[in-house]
Amino acid sequence: MIIKTQSDIPSSEITNVEVFKNRRKIIKAALATPVLGLIPNVSKAEEKKIFTDIPVGPYSQALETTDFEDVSSYNNYYEFSTDKEYPKILAKNLITNPWNITVEGEAEKTGVFQLEDILKKNSLEERIYRFRCVEAWAMVVPWIGFPLAEMLQQFKPTSKAKFVEFTTLHDSEVMPGQQTKTLQWPYIEGLRIDEAMNPLSFIATGMYDDVLPNQNGAPLRLVVPWKYGFKSIKAIVKIRFLETIPASSWNLSAPSEYGFYANVNPNVPHPRWSQKRERMLGGNIFTPKRDTEIFNGYAEQVASLYNDMDLTKEF
């Protein structure tokens, strides 16, 4: 899993979503004029690359953007299916507007809130982040979203809040995968509060130049750049601030395989495979792999969070 973004980058260096959309309109209009006749036979793949290869700051990798069709049609979303191709089909029945978020636990402001109110009344400004991340394969995605800290701070967590827990929608009629015993439902994930407040953690509300597709986690998806993909909980309906560590779904299901922290660490192998190398989505078994980086390449920004921990035991 690899994602590149900003830690101490000023907001001016992150592309605002409206600027990005206008930029796309300008380029699209230009493609229809003789001016771009200087670029012979611009393919759809090249056009997509023009639109999405946008700079967002010094931590962005110069890697080719994964094709939208690959990202939107190959999904780890067990609430719908363990098959990677089926969520795109099955998730069409998920209604994401209106959407409510329940906030509980060690915070001054708790209750049930409409997503629209959370976003608009608190002026959560959406930005473009161009990251690499992982579900089953690594991929480069231009996400639209905002820092997780900005959303959490509005609920005023107290000094007792050492962890924050997230819960996915539980509706087995809409999410047929929840009718199976693959995991304990609903899906639950969590972070330490300092991890959640780190500038690299963010909430995705869209990708490429549009709203987040249902199969990719609409309307709210967590992305934590230095962690493996099962931390990227989708369709969040509840946030709970806790004094003690929450029990996360994959850790409950297979504690020897999936630790609570889920930090990208090539030196800690999964019991059934090595994690030293990774392959990009859109390729095949013959596509060359690349070396996996410790903390997904973010050691400078996040290693200090784990100074006194044995990362082979607290993995």
Closest CA to 282 of 64, 74, 3, 70: 70
What per-residue confidence (pLDDT) applies to 191? 98
In the chain, the amino acid numbered 210 is D
**Ramachandran angles phi, psi of 201, nearest 5°:** -80, 135
What's the token pair of residue 67?
């094709």
Is 56's pLDDT higher than 50? no
What per-residue confidence (pLDDT) applies to 18? 56
What per-residue confidence (pLDDT) applies to 155? 97
pLDDT (mean) for 173-197: 97
Q: How far is CA 54 from CA 70, 127, 212, in A?
A: 19, 12, 18
Give 250's pLDDT tier (boundaries 50, 70, 90). Answer: very high
Over residues 5-15, the pLDDT tens digits come to 333 434 433 44
Q: Locate the DSSP E strands across the chain.
A: 15-16, 100-105, 111-114, 127-134, 138-147, 163-168, 188-192, 202-207, 210-211, 221-223, 236-242, 277-278, 290-291
- The answer to which of 51-55, 206-210, 252-256 has the lowest mean pLDDT is 51-55
- In sequence order, what are the residues at sequence separation of 6 or more whose Cβ sits closer than 8 angstroms to the Cβ of residue 10? none
pLDDT (mean) for 152-175: 98
Could you tell me the fold of the domain covering 11-306?
Answer: Sulfite Oxidase; Chain A, domain 2 (3.90.420)
Q: How far is CA 142 from CA 59, 182, 227, 247, 249, in A?
A: 14, 31, 18, 31, 27
What per-residue confidence (pLDDT) applies to 232? 93
What per-residue confidence (pLDDT) applies to 34? 32
Give 17's pLDDT tier (boundaries 50, 70, 90). Answer: low
Cβ contact 251:260 at 8 Å: yes
Give 239's pLDDT tier (boundaries 50, 70, 90). Answer: very high
Cβ contact 224:232 at 8 Å: yes
Over residues 102-138, the pLDDT tens digits come to 999 999 999 999 999 988 766 777 777 766 665 667 7
Q: How far is CA 28 from CA 24, 44, 47, 314, in A?
A: 6, 11, 9, 48
What per-residue confidence (pLDDT) applies to 309? 95
pLDDT (mean) for 215-221: 97
**CA dist., res. 253 & res. 180, Å (int):** 13
User: What mean pLDDT, rounded, does the chain reach?
Assistant: 81
Find residue 10's DSSP bridge partners: none
Closest CA to 262 of 202, 185, 192: 192
pLDDT (mean) for 306-315: 94
